[in-house]
Amino acid sequence: MKTAAASLLLFVLVMAGCSGETQESAESFEISGEGIQIEGAWARPASEGRMSAAYFLITNFEDQNDNLISVQSDVAQLVEIHESYELDNGMMGMREVPELEIPSQSTIRLEQGGLHIMLIQVTRTLADGETFELTLNFANHGEQIVEIPIRL
């Protein structure tokens, strides 16, 4: 799955809810901390009833691997962990990932055109500048609530 995810970064995703350009950004921060840390969280604006997607970095500072097993939010009917992939015709699709492994001492990047949290049928309009909460459930680390800023 790692290899597939990496090659997907080469493609521009054109799809409602997950659309946008892939971004070049250096991943050069010090690995220091403890537990599971979430950084750089944001989500796309969406009208009530539509889809949004949330992105962030997850770093596992523990000595053991962990798994993100589910995600919940009050602002969507359904929240799923998704990955983007290339269809046979060269278009981009996306599909649910049952759980997301976060290896010990490493960072997993959720970003446009790659892994993302899909918010399906948002229950209120998510406007630029607002925030909402996501609850991340990790197999070892338990629940972690993350404040997600909404921006374009």
Q: Which stretch binds Cu ion (CB under 5 A): 15-23, 36-44, 64-72, 129-137?
A: 15-23
Give the span between the Cα atoms of 93 and 13, in whole angstroms.
8
* Candidate list 5, 13, 18, 108; residue touching Cu ion; CB under 5 A: 18
Q: How far is the CB of 48 from Cu ion (least distance, A)?
A: 18
Q: Which two tokens stand for residue 48?
A: 């009530």
Q: How far is the CB of 95 from Cu ion (least distance, A)?
A: 8
- Applying CB under 5 A, does 94 fall inside the site for Cu ion? yes
Q: How far is the CB of 89 from Cu ion (least distance, A)?
A: 18
- Applying CB under 5 A, does 82 fall inside the site for Cu ion? yes
Count of CB atoms situated within 10 Å of the CB of 59: 20
Q: Which residue has the CB atom at the shortest distance from Cu ion?
A: 82
Residues 34-63 that bind Cu ion (CB under 5 A): none
| Exposure b/e, 76-91, CB count within 10 A at least 16 = b | beebbbbbbbeeeeee
Contact flags string 107-126 toward Cu ion, x per CB under 5 A: -----------x--------
Measured from the CB atom, the residue of 72 and 140 that comes closer to Cu ion is 72
